[in-house]
Structure formats: structure tokens, C-alpha cells
Structure 1
Amino acid sequence: MKLLRLGCLHFSELPEEWEKWRGTIGGIEIGTIGSNRTEKGVRLIVIAQAEMKYFPKVTAQGLAVIPEKLRKQLEGCIETMGNLISLSIRGRRTISSPTPSIALLPENDEERTRLAQVHGFSFLPGNRCETGSLIKFSDIGEYLEHLQDRLDGVALLVESIAHEHLTGKFHEYIRVFERAFRLSSKRLIAPLADFLCTSAFQYSAQEVENWILNIRHPITHADERECFLLESDVRPVIRRVEQAAYDVLFNKEMWRNPQSNRRDVWQPPFGTNSTNGDIFITQGFEVNLENQILDEFQAYPLDLQGIMKNIPIEWLAFPPSEIRASGQVTVKPKPFSEAESSITDPIERDPNQAEAPA
């Protein structure tokens, strides 16, 4: 039996000879099964496939469990092929998932009989609707005085804005933290966590440790480890890291210093306040949020235009599952000063009349 992982490779420009190809990378078969050109560029639908050592585990509900290790190997092959094409044409590539994104291919009658009892695939629970705040400052001049001692941090944050790739953004956010605290690696964890845990955004020491130890090093270095991380590994945390970088830049009291004291210069009117997709908005403020639906594995964005209409009859694939956002929305009241300024006294008073004694 084979496991099939499908992906969409997007390029702004692509020579026609790249629209149809097939090959093998590290024992994994990969090739195109479709393409289309639009004004925005070219989409290639590719499939990576490999033999499964064992029949997949089936739950009591009749759901087949997709082996994670093999699935990630297939995703790595898709990314590698996208990188090779990108290198060949010197062009940017992006990756998304079509529908279906995964399938099983039986190779004999016994496998077909056993798969006939499978009613779907089992996916780990998680938030498939990624929400992030698009932070802008129409009144940036009002903050200039507070940013004078940390213009280097402004420069690093702008570097992150210039990046379109999530790994590049993550690098720059970490550099903001390192610059602000004058620390790096493990020594950065405690003071950064102490600072962020005093915010209203529900950060935790474990969350910060995950950024620095489990993601930062393997996303940055590829020298000693057998494996290294890619964009899909950064995606689940990038929104929280971004918000933290803005918080550090504006609200850290002493720049280029390991201390964790906070000042109150800027508070976002909307954003994320948990790792589970929870968001907050504030009354009286325009909300500018960006939503991205992810595939079943939360590895890549779901390509809403990449729906396969003619699925090969020999594949075991299933229609799209219901997509739910797991987070909650919290509505915060207006800041006290603004709420007060909007209240008018309905009682008209005679300025010449003295107040009655208490």
C-alpha cells in the first residue's frame, strides 16, 4: 500500500517545460498531476508517494491513522522539489494543500478489502483557522519619542515585514528579542518569559521555551542535527511570536538590557491571547485581522482553488472535513479614559447655584 501526499506549488512565472515532470528523490516518487496558469502565476498540483511498511491503524470509529513520520517525509520531498524549481528559475515559490491532501493507494485485493471498512481519516485535533492581526500605526509620529533609544529594534521589525517567507520573519522576530535583552539562546528564555507573562496576552514560560529551544536552533542551524525545520514547523507559532515582538519593542522599559520591567506605551486593540486560536478585540476600534485556513495536518494553507474534481477511482480519499476555528473571541471594553470622554452629563446646572450641602 502506498501513502499519497498532494501539494500545490505556486510560482509567479514558470517555463512550460516544468508543467509536466516525474522523478524520484530519496526513494520517494514525485511528479505533477495537473497545472493551471492564471494572471497571478502558475499552480502545479504534485503528488509524492511511498510504500507503507504496515497497514495503517484503524480506530474503533473506522478511521485510518496516517503515519506522521512518512507523511512528513513526503511533505519534505514536495518542498525539496519546489526548492529545486525555485533555484532553477530564480523565482519565489509557495506551497499549499489541494483537496484532497492525502490518500491511500491499495496495491492488491487484500488491501482493497481491508480499506473497504475504512470510513475516513483520523486527524489530530487542532485549530485549522489561523488568525493574525495586521498591526499598523497611522499615528506612528506619536510614538517617535518612545522609540528613539531602540531604532535598531524598529529596523529589525521592518526586516520581518519585508520577508514573505515565515522562516525569515521568525528569524527577525528572534533578533528583536536578542537585541532588546542583549541575550541569546537559553539565557534569553527566562527574562523574555518574565516580560511577556506580565502582558494580557496569556503567554507562558513553556511557550517561550518552545520558541527558543525547539524552533529557533533547528530553524537557524543545519550543521549537526540530522533534521532541520522548515516553514510548516514555524506556522503554528508565528502569530504569537510576531505579537510578542511588537510588545517587546514598544513596551520593554530598558532597551539592550536583560531586565524584564514593562512600561505602558502601546496596547494592540486586537490580537491573539492564547495558543489555541483565541483572539481579543476592543470596543470602538477597527479590527484588522487576517484569517488563513490550514490543511488537516496544519502543515500548509488550504488552497481553496485547488480542488480535484476527478479523483482516481483506485485512491482511498475523502471529501473535505468540517473546518472549525477552535478559539474564542473576547470583547474588551474601551479604555477608561476614552469611555469617560464619551459620556456627557444630561443634567443642566445653573453655574450661579451653589451645591447643596451633603
Structure 2
Amino acid sequence: MSITQLSTEILQKIYEYATVQDVLHLAQTSKRNYRAFLGRRMPILETAMYNSYSPLPELVKLVIANEPDKSRKLLSTEIRRNATVNRIIETRELPRMTIELIIKMVQYGKVADRWTEVYPRIRWRQNSNNRRLLRPHEQERLRGAIYRYWTYNSMFHDQVFLQYDPDLPRSRDDPRLRLLRTYSTIQLIQLTEFLDKMQQIIQVDLYPSNAMIRSQYSQPVPPKTLANMGWGEGEQHKRLVLDLMKYSPSDLLHLFENTTTKSQRLDHLLVQGQHFLDAPATLRDSIAIVNFQRQNGVDIDTNIFDEDIEWGVIDPPDDNGGGDWGVHARWAHDASVTGSWDEVEAERMGRLPVGGLDMDTEEEFEEDVDEDA
């Protein structure tokens, strides 16, 4: 039977299984298909967004993090960031969808969806025989990690915040820690895996050190060639990599797919402004602090060349029910709903030993952070 002979109800049911692009293409094929689409436009678009770019609550939070501040009140940077973190934390469920919100979500969703296609090349760089497409649930995990990474970068790696507070968090109420506490340990593991792969792209593909360039050739590399390809040595290069970890997923995707020379990547770097090179990224250290505060005994710092990260984005090779699923269940539900760190919240999450939390002073907390770092 031709699609032109299907009832409106069946056509609308077909729309529910389509992606955003497929919905738009199908609606443009005939007036009848367009009218069927208009009959349930918002429910169809909401379902299509889920099919294409889930998890949607995390995507909405990313949109919130990038919205311009329209307030005319004279408020400090800290107050403004805390207000935005509060909005993000309060967005636990998907809000009412509007066309304006969907348009904003699609802009970020397209980038994340493209990463699901590129990611296998990075993930199985060292073992290409095992390379495969990501499964649907792996794609959703990866998009979620990308949205969280992008949300943090948008809020805490922009020019204003870097000028205001470029150092590591020194207070338990720091908005960076409050945001990360709303993620479960499993989500932090997946975020760290994506973070590591982005660092690998920077170190190997985009901004390699002189030593990395020399290792790729069996013969000595002429100094001029090395200068045209390498980005420095030792601590100098390490500092550069830390600075570049402030790049957004959109920036990294553009550089990875559309640049081939050092001059192109240098031009993109200079466009970011001087503030971009004045302070390193803080996401990895902030994750370590939150993990240390939870005292759950799990080391979530992965290796950038590791291809077998338990509870990460990609299913482990032995996907037959192995692993401690009791631990997984606990780590998957240990997020702080409010982002706060207090005894009541910690005890509710089961993170405290009998007797409660030993409440350190602010100075003791800073000492603990320094030791952990």
C-alpha cells in the first residue's frame, strides 16, 4: 500500500518513530503529509527530539547555560553563576517544549550527534579491528557526556568567569562543584571518558608535541619541519593542552574535521582571545574534588588510551552481566539533588559512615583538596 493511501492516524504514528530531519522531510513531501504533521506538531517534534538527541533534560540544561543574561541588575559574577546553576539544578524534568527552545536544542544536538559518528575512530584508534558503530544506548550516553562537558565549559570557561575566578574551587559552595554534584558517579565516569578522548585528540591529532611528531618518523625530523608541525615540549606543551581543554565540542569537531595545518589551528586559537590562554581548564580537577568529597573509594580518572572503561560510554567487551551491579546501582543514584554538600544530603545518599560527617572547617577542606590534587 502506498503511503498516500494511509490514514492520518497512521501517518502521525509513523512520525513518532522518525528523527527530526526525517519528520521535516516527510512533512514536505505532500500537503496531506504536512497537514498530518500540523495536527500533532508539538508531540511529534518532542518525540523526534528524543529519537535524535536524547537525553533531552541535559540538552535543555546546556541551552540554559548558554542563554544571555538579560538582567539589568548590578550583580557579581558569582551571584549570576549561582543563579544559573540554580536554574539548571531545578530543571530535572523536560520542560514544556516550544519551537524557539527546539531550535536552540537542535543546534547543540547536531554537534553531539555528529560526535557519535566520529567517536569510534577515536575510541578504537589503537585497535581498529574492533571498531564498530555505537549502539543506540551508547550514543545516548555519549550525548549526555557531551552536554555535561559543554555545560561546564560554557559557564566556567568563558571570559568573564576566567577573569573572575580562574583558580580551582576553594569552597564547598563553589558553583562548579554544585553543578558536578548533581551528576551521579556513573555520569562522572562517562564525562571523564569523553574528557579523556578530547584530550587525546588535542595531544595526538590537533596540537601534538615535538616529541609526538618525532615518534611518527623513523628518520630524524628537520628543525624547520618540526617547527611547522609541533607545538612545543615538556611543561610548555602540557600547559597548552590544559588551556585547550576549554574548547567546546563544537570547536573541537571543527578543528578535527576541517583543519589540517598548524597555521589554521593557530588562527582558531588566537580568535579565542588572550583570556583563553591565561588559565587552564578546571573540569578534571573539579571532578576529582567531587569524587573525593563523596568518599566512595572509586577512582574515576581514566587512561586516554584505555578501551575498557567499566561503566563508561562504551559497553565493556565482556558484556554478559559481568561486574558488580550492586556497586553500579549505588553509583548510578548517588547524585545530590540540590548540588549541596551537607550531612543530611550525604546521609540520604548513603555516602556517610555510621556517626555522620566530620564537618571540616573551610581551611581543612582546602588542605584536603590540595592533598588530593
TM above 0.5, yes or no, is: no
Which structure has more strand as a fraction of its residues?
A: 1
Say which structure is richer in helix: 2
TM-score, with structure 1 as normaliser: 0.24
Q: Which has the larger radius of gyration?
A: 1
With structure 2 as the length reference, what TM-score do the two structures score? 0.23
